[in-house]
Amino acid sequence: MSLIDTLMRYLNPEPDPSLEAVFAHQQQQLPVVWLLGNTGAGKSSLIRTITADSQVEIGNGFQPCTASSMQYAFPAERPLLTFLDTRGLGEAGYDAADDIDWCQARSHALVVVMKLTDMSQQPVLSALQQIADSRQGFQLLLVQTGCEQLAAEARTQALHYQRQQLDACWRQPYRAVVVDFEPLQGEPVGLDGLRQQLAEMLPVVAQLQSDNQHSDQEAANFSRLRTEVLWYAGAAAASDAVPAVGLVAVPGIQAKMLHSLASRYGVAWDRRALGEFIAALGAGFGVQYAGNLGVRQLSKLIPGYGQTVGAALAATVSFAATWALGRVACHYLYHKSRGEPIDEQALQAMYKQAFDSMKRQRLGSVTDKGAGSDAGRH
């Protein structure tokens, strides 16, 4: 069966229980950022910085998940990332152990938010002590906020004091960044450093970031669809992490993505349009597509290797390929909707650049997973 036949089979399918199971599995595997900090420390501002969602607030849009913790999935329709907030740590008679165990088992990164003018950090430090005692190698980022609200000497003293406190209870390498989300004067401080530190801990944060300065209207249109493409790429990666599943599920997920993107541009896929699109990607694209998918599945069947490195590599390549396919599909559909000619060389170069850059990013995250950092430690 040709690539066009395979994709056409899925473009307008009946509900597929196997794909729904993949999407449900992806939902359970979302990267999770666990936030710890006193009320008013700046946790809501931090989430707004990452998501560019000006409406989000701790408590608004968050759903209870334990007696004293709440979670928020972003974006709401097709989430790529979940935030956890543990509250009530300082309440008399409250034992945070159960909530900490629940959050710890699900989290991929721990972000501790401390306001420099708030010297009452004991509830947060006590929670960190419990986490440090039960889990080694957990990625932690200290975000110290409100730096512009103190004079230089007082700011230096507060920074040093809070990090001394954290050093005493954590006793592991960690990252640190200093920010001010709402300075009394001027623009916010330290946001680029915050984004960079989070992106190094969780690649999805880097993937969510988009430049507001677009080279043309096509790129601006794609920026509004990037989270949707990332969601489908994540689903493809999740399915490809299971032996003998990705071979069937990945083309189905990619076809669903193409169908959804076409509806956004008001373009209907038919055999002719899909054939034109595949042809524009180059004569060898279909052969490479089928070959890579088969090799990835075979690599996962190798005992030992297949369940670790093979599965991770398969998921990485499926993520990158789905992302690249979505990127060039948006480019193609934009020009198709306007009746404009397609530059095949530009389309092929765009696919290669999108695939290569995302593959490097994902492979780097697999290589570095679990590695700590002493960035900013004193």
The pLDDT of residue 104 is 75
Which residues pair with residue 72 across a beta bridge? Answer: 83
pLDDT tens for 15-69 read 566 666 667 767 777 888 989 898 889 999 999 888 887 777 776 767 777 667 7
Query: In the 8-state DSSP scheme, what is residue 71?
Result: E
Ordered structural domains, the chain, with CATH? 3-26+212-368 (no CATH), 32-201 (3.40.50.300)
Q: Of 296, 318, 319, whose CA–CA distance to 243 is shortest?
A: 296
- Give me the amino acid identity at 249: A
The pLDDT value recorded for residue 354 is: 92
In 3-state terms, the chain is what percent helix, strand and coil (to 5)? 55, 10, 30
What pLDDT, on a 0 to 100 scale, did the predictor assign at position 348?
92
pLDDT on residue 260: 92
Kindly give the parts of the chain with pLDDT less than 70.
Answer: 1-2, 9-10, 12-22, 25, 59, 61, 66-67, 88-96, 134-137, 210-215, 240-248, 284, 286-311, 364-378
Question: Pick from 79, 74, 80, 45: which is nearest to 61 by CA?
Answer: 74
Please check whether residue 257 is in contact with residue 319, taking contact to mean a CB–CB distance below 8 angstroms. no
Residue 285 CB coordination number (10 Å): 17
